[in-house]
Amino acid sequence: MTAEPLAPPDADRHRRMHLMVDVTAQILAEDSSLTFCEALRLVEAVRVAVLRLYPEFVATFESDTRPTLERIVHDRFRLDRCARPN
C-alpha cells in the first residue's frame, strides 16, 4: 500500500513546518551569539508555530522534534543530559 501524496495546501504546510524546524535547529547549532535562554525560547517558539499548523502533532512534537532540538541545545551549551521536569 502506498501513501497518498499530500494535497497542495497540506504539502505547503508540511514544507513550512519542516523549514521552521530545520532553520531553528541550524540557528541553535550555529549562532554563536545565542544565549541559553534565547535557545530555550526558540525551541518553545517553534513548538507553538508547529502546533498552530498541525494541532494534532502535539505527541509527535513532544516525542520526536523537541528532544532533537533539546539535544542540540545541550550539545551547544555542553550541558549534562537529565530528565526534563514534568
Specify if 1 maps to a domain. Answer: no
- Reading the chain (86 residues) residue by residue, the pLDDT tens digits are 455 565 667 888 889 999 999 999 999 999 999 999 999 999 999 999 999 999 999 999 999 999 999 999 999 998 876 545 44
Print the domain residue range for 61: 35-79
- 32-38: long-range contacts at Cβ-Cβ below 8 A with a sequence spacing of 24 or more? 34/76, 36/73, 36/77
Specify if 51 maps to a domain. Answer: yes
Specify if 25 maps to a domain. Answer: no
d(CA 17, CA 14): 5
The answer to whether 24 and 69 have CB atoms below 8 angstroms apart is: yes
Specify if 28 maps to a domain. Answer: no
Specify if 85 maps to a domain. Answer: no
Domain count, the chain: 1
d(CA 23, CA 25): 5
